Amino acid sequence: MGRLIAALIVIATTAASTAAADDPLARARLLYNQRQFDAALQAADEARRTPALADAADLVAARAYLERFRDAQAPDDLSRARERLRRLDPRRFATRERTEFIVGLGETLYFDEAFGAASSVFDTVLLAGDLLADEARGRVLDWWATAIDREARPRPDAERRLVYQRIRARMIEELAMHPASGAATYWLVAAARAEGDLPAAWQAAQAGWVRASLTGDGGVALRADIDQIMRRAIVPEQAKALAQPPQTLQAQWEQFKERWTR
């Protein structure tokens, strides 16, 4: 489970696009958001030559190394990200940069497989209020749930169920505050299924399919994720529990989708 989408940098880039030619830090941020990580690292190293920009440049570089590690799993990239985060001084950051620093710490802990610690770090960002734009908040929420999921897997069944109950409760709260959250919608389905509450998972999938049009892309990505978990997990598991052919439940799911698909 878990879509594990990287949290993109939250610092606004509208102004950066016009200032990038003269400002290496703005250029590094812009290149990062364009997922040109090698170029972003070069610009960050250039910005770092100005002492006043060194910490912010290290922050962008650390996030770029984390993204490169996520793509290629090169251990050196994770080590370099950790080094950049360790040597910068976050006390000099404004609120948004401090939040981005904390997200970077969480990602690094996740890649170090310290899943419980990573979820705790992400939790502090989520509980701090709306410090992130909706899209970035959704990505951090996805990281939080994925980290908890990974930390819960080795636990006994009874403990795991409590963990997934916690995820479900958080996602219900999140949807009340952010109705367009694709991450919360997906994890409400996934956590119910992981807890073993297949009827609730089915119902959450139906609700998620209907409300998916609220998301930024009109529901394309979210509906694909919901359909995948239904076909691969919920439909066969529910069919087994009900002693019905999987084709019968799959047909019911397809009929439901047709009623709510343009």
Same domain assignment for residues 96 and 180: no
What is the span of the domain harbouring residue 107? 1-154
Same domain assignment for residues 126 and 7: yes
Rounded distance between C-alpha atoms, residue 237 and residue 163, angstroms: 20
Number of domains in the chain: 2
Same domain assignment for residues 149 and 20: yes
Tell me, what's the pLDDT at 2?
Answer: 46
Same domain assignment for residues 89 and 191: no
Tell me, what's the pLDDT at 164?
Answer: 97
Question: Considering 124, 154, 184, which residue would you say is the last residue of a domain?
Answer: 154
Same domain assignment for residues 252 and 196: yes
Same domain assignment for residues 145 and 18: yes
Same domain assignment for residues 26 and 92: yes
Same domain assignment for residues 142 and 180: no
pLDDT in tens, the chain (262 residues): 445 444 545 444 455 455 556 799 999 999 999 999 999 999 999 999 999 999 999 999 999 999 999 999 999 999 999 999 999 999 989 998 999 999 999 999 999 999 999 999 999 999 887 777 788 899 999 999 999 999 999 999 999 999 999 999 999 999 999 999 999 999 999 999 999 999 999 999 999 999 999 998 999 999 999 999 999 999 999 999 999 999 999 999 999 999 998 7
**CATH at residue 66:** 1.25.40.10
Question: Considering 122, 154, 186, which residue would you say is the last residue of a domain?
Answer: 154
Same domain assignment for residues 184 and 97: no
Same domain assignment for residues 144 and 40: yes
Same domain assignment for residues 123 and 193: no
Rounded distance between C-alpha atoms, residue 171 and residue 188, angstroms: 6
Same domain assignment for residues 51 and 179: no
Question: Considering 91, 120, 154, which residue would you say is the last residue of a domain?
Answer: 154
Place of tokens 């047709």: 258
Tell me, what's the pLDDT at 262?
Answer: 75
Tell me, what's the pLDDT at 3?
Answer: 54
